[in-house]
Structure 1
Amino acid sequence: MTTRHDDPASPTTPDAAGAAPGATRTERDTMGAVEVPADRYWGAQTQRSLEHFDIGRDTFVWGRPVIRGLGLLKKSAALANAGLGLLPDDVARAVVAAADEVARGGLDDHFPLVVFQTGSGTQSNMNANEVVANRAIEILGGVLGSKDPVHPNDHVNRSQSSNDTFPTAVHVAVALELAERLHPAVDRLVAALDAKAAELGDVVKVGRTHLQDATPVTLGQEIGAWAGQLREAQADVRYAGEKVLALAIGGTAVGTGLNAPAAFGPAVADHLAAETGLAFRQADNLFVQLAAHDGLVAVSSSLRTLAGGLMKLANDVRWLASGPRTGIGELRIPENEPGSSIMPGKVNPTQSEAMTMVVTRVFGNDATVGFAGTQGNFQLNVFTPVMAHAVLESVRLLADACRSFTEHCVVGLEADRERIADHLDADLMLVTALAPHIGYDRAAAIAKQAHRDGSTLREAAVASGAVSDADYDRWVDPEAMTHSD
């Protein structure tokens, strides 16, 4: 396996010295010797984890954001340690270069671990330490697995514990995914809905409450409500996202900061902020950051709210597009693909269906995160990897679903103006405009009579003797009913 490497200072490409397929090398940790695939940069502890936690095979390779977060963290930690005089310059430069490769994605194949591991993420932290150390050794011309001149614990993990580094990397991953993936996708969807609301703002249609006919609205108001709900939900996500900018780094094992200089955590946060453009900072209370992951719980909860708005949007669209001849049929959706393997010509609301399935998954993920967030015991919550995976999956799914729904549904939505006009003409709840003039009881009687007879509201109103043709035309104006005086 060969991975491209563009650092001219490095003597070799990062293919673990071009080892033959199937070959192994012996690495050692505090428990003894372990055989590691010779073409991989991970070391003894990563290999042990592979053997001991072979559950699900849903790896962090899917979770590129976590690997990126680990790379950015290890780079920032090396810079902080070097600035504090705790790493030799040559080691620091090599660690920074190797961690940069991890962050950029050049070494993803060397991160094989499953989500279901120790709850502090120790194996994933050591996976990063070992990969960065071995790559740094290679950059410096050493022998893989020798831990010389770069040691995974003594150098790459200097001033750190898995208990503060893994939640820090997860926070970095979540914050970046929100900023770079989710918010742009939601912004585009909201903008597309706003544009469609403006385009169809003049279309007056039947409103519906309790799945029953109600007083008129405009199609622009209906679509604008979808956009408004998403805009408010996104504001909640942004607010919750501020919580993951507070980092556990510097707390080390239990929050006391043992074996880390007091200046280390703030320095790492500053380097991460410079690397990402996000306002990362060391958390005010490091004990809280280790014992609870309420920032992740808050983000997940806000994602559930956003998902709820998307469920409303997707369901409304497929109801309004139902038919096309025997349903509501007021909207026409893009004909993206055949809808049936047996019924020719059928078109289904597939984008709505995909969106609603994503929403159910996000709700399930939030249940996982919410429960896992209650499981902090004493100085540590040991559910961090599954919480990270659930939150990041929700972010990715929502972002992808918003992008797809925008491109393949919203921009192509059309109003069936003739069908909308027919429904509006038949709407008995236009009678609401008569109530201020003839009273609620008389108006209700007219509407019920029209429904029994199958007559129009106008016909029933005039036949009642309570309303003249001129009165009806003056009082019942569907467009005027869409706004207050």
Structure 2
Amino acid sequence: MTQTDSQFRTERDSMGDRQIPSSAYYGIQTLRAMENFPISGINPLTTYVDAGVIIKKATGIVNGQLKCIPQEISQAIVQAADEVLAGKFRDQFVVDIYQAGAGTSHHMNVNEVLANRALEILGYEKGNYKQVSPNDHVNYGQSTNDVIPTAIRIGGLLALSKTLQPALDQAIASLEEKADEFQDIVKSGRTHMQDAVPVRLGENFRAWAQIITEHQNRIYTASGDLMVLGLGGSAAGTGMNTHPDYRARVVQVISELIDCPLEPAPHLMAAMQSMAPFVSVSGALRNLAQDLVKISHDLRLMDSGPKTGLKEIQLPPVQPGSSIMPGKYNPVMAEMTSMVCFQVMGYDSAIALAAQAGQLELNVMMPLIAYNLIHSIEILGNTIKALTSSCIQGITANRDRCLAYAEGSLALVTALNPHIGYLNAAAVAKESLETGKSLRQIVLEKNLMSDEELAQVLNLEQMSGILPLRALDTEID
């Protein structure tokens, strides 16, 4: 490395010399990647950067303890990592998310930033890699091929714990609160978009809470695979150039840094080659997204109107809904939710394609998987948080409209089946639809039931109740 003037420094790699801005903490390999991949203008996600820096902090600690690198360099790398994790130097992680296969470009970006900051800490000029090397010190005993799959795992776990899981907890609690608030409201059920038997509005919300709870459990189960780390596999899963104690120690240190029970992979080659853990988590996210679309569409339908739709509930208006129609408010939070979920489904398809595109000892499509998986987790979490706080928690019910629909539904005739038979019930429904007479009036006119019997059978509160689940009193042969 040589200094050319105050604005630039010269760095050298195996391909030759390049000038780097003196203020830059990234180095020559990052510069080459910036020139090679002007693709999307999207820089790596903060969570993904954090994951890589956490790995470098842990490896710096362990390699120092094992005397694989000098102790003062170990300490400088750890200090540099802590500074990045505290929010410094974020503008130095600049490689486009669509980049060199396996993530080598991003990996070297991380190595160079930490090496150059460590040089400063030790009193050297940036670029003086004879003193602190991105490859020989920051990356000691590592390879892109084991660091990047580990970074995806750590990034996924960080995003889940910080963003998605708290949002799911909040959504479930808010839906349960609305369920209790609306439990005494009877409304018409609908199947095939047609009138169905009465239901409780509260149970609609309780069902959604249960659906999201089940998705939360599926995501938690799938995320267990992210806790198994292949770090220590080095270039091809053989552990070349690593200390015998490195693998177990570094996983333990990362466990402590992120407060998560991690463990070394039983077979390092397998952990490097297979992207199945990421496909599994992505699939669980897609599954959640599909039901979130359904719930957001239900909310829009139930709020449709205000004069020409169902209008059983009122979603809180959060912004004007039209540039031309005064007083119009749209269900924008529910609409936004669907759009984000569509994006997550698209990311899942891309992850599946990338996961099967590996060859032999490596999958080179990991940069795509890294961005799509972590971004899916984070935008889903942010979306659910926003939907909960700006929509679900402010929903009110139109009790009179709900009751009117329930009382006017021809599906009430279903309750008459056990008493007057299916054919008689169908005839009553047909006559009611043709004449406008109520079900009650027609049944009494035809002497099919007494007034007292009819009042008991057409009790809306009783019809819409949820029966408790009871164990069988006797065994079934």
Determine if the TM-score, normalized by the shorter chain, exceeds 0.5. Answer: yes
Q: Does 1:48 align with 2:32?
A: yes
Aligned position for 2:443: 461
- Aligned counterpart, 1:443: 425
Quote the Cα distance in structure 2 between the aligned partners of 1:393 and 1:370.
Answer: 15
Q: 1:150 aligns with which of 132, 136, 152?
A: 132
Runs (4+) of structure 1 moved beyond 4 Å? none
* Aligned pair partner of 2:8 in 24, 45, 52: 24
Partner of 1:7: none
- Deviates most, 101-110 or 431-440: 101-110
Partner residue in 1 for 2:321 = 339
Residue 95 of structure 2 is aligned to residue 113 of structure 1: yes
Alpha-carbon separation, structure 1, partners of 2:329 and 2:398:
16
Correspondent of 1:58 among 42, 65, 81? 42
Percent identity between matched residues is: 38
Cα distance between partner residues in 2 of 1:451 and 1:261: 82
Q: C-alpha deviations, 1:168-189, integer Å up to 9, x for none? A: 1121111011011110011101
Matched-pair contact (CA < 8 Å) for 1:75–1:99: yes
| Alignment TM-score, normalising by the size of structure 2 | 0.95
Report the AA paired with residue 27 of structure 2: G
Shift of 1:356: 0.5
| Pairing 1:263–2:245 present | yes
Specify every segment of 5 or more residues in structure 1 that has no aligned partner in the other structure, as ranges: 1-16
**Matches of 2:244 and 2:311, distance apart in 1:** 65
Superposed counterparts of 1:352-391, under 5 Å: 352-391=334-373
Q: Assess if the C-alpha contact under 8 Å between 1:215 and 1:429 holds in 2.
A: yes
Give distance in 1, aligned partners of 2:208 and 2:258. 32
- Native 8 Å contact 1:142 1:148 kept in 2: no
Cα distance in 1 for partners of 2:424, 2:14 equals 88
The two structures, once aligned, show a CA RMSD in angstroms of 1.4
2:321 and 2:47 mapped to 1: Cα distance? Answer: 35
> Does the 8 Å CA contact 2:279/2:355 hold for their aligned counterparts?
yes
Q: Deviations over 1:200-238 (max 9, x none)?
A: 111111111111111111111111011110110111111
CA contact 2:347–2:373 (8 Å) conserved in 1:
yes
- The alignment's TM-score, normalised by the length of structure 1, stands at 0.94
Q: d(CA) in 1 for partners of 2:399 and 2:295? A: 20
Does structure 1 residue 292 correspond to structure 2 residue 255? Answer: no
Q: 1:462: how far off?
A: 1.7
Aligned pair partner of 1:75 in 24, 49, 57: 57
The CA deviation string for residues 382-441 of structure 1, in whole angstroms up to 9 with x for no partner, is 110111111111111111111111111111101100101111110111111111111111
Name the amino acid aligned to 1:28: R
Residue 224 of structure 1 pairs with residue 235 of structure 2: no
Residue range with higher mean Cα deviation, 392-401 or 314-323: 392-401
- Worse-superposed segment, 98-107 or 165-174: 98-107
SS in 2 for 1:377: coil
Match of 1:10 in 2: none
User: Could you tell me how far apart the structure 2 residues matched to 1:24 and 1:77 are?
Assistant: 31
State the distance in 2 between where 1:239 and 1:34 align. 48
> Equivalent residue of 2:102, what SS?
coil
Equivalents in 1 of 2:238, 2:92: separation in Å?
32
Alpha-carbon distance between aligned partners in 2 of 1:166 and 1:335, rounded to the nearest angstrom: 44
State how far apart, in whole Å, the 2-side matches of 1:274 and 1:370 are: 31
The alignment partner of 2:224 has SS state of helix
Question: How many angstroms apart in 1 are the aligned matches of 2:246 and 2:407?
Answer: 71
- Amino acid paired to 1:41: Y
Which residue of structure 2 lines up, in the alignment, with residue 350 of structure 1? Answer: 332
CA positional deviation for 1:468: 2.6
2:196 aligned counterpart, secondary structure: strand
The structural deviation recorded for 1:28 is 1.0
* 8 Å Cα contact 1:69/1:103 also seen in 2: no
- Of 136, 149, 164, 2:118 maps to 136
Q: Does 1:307 align with 2:292?
A: no
Match of 1:241, SS state, is helix
Aligned residue runs from structure 1 range 426-437, under 5 A: 426-437=408-419
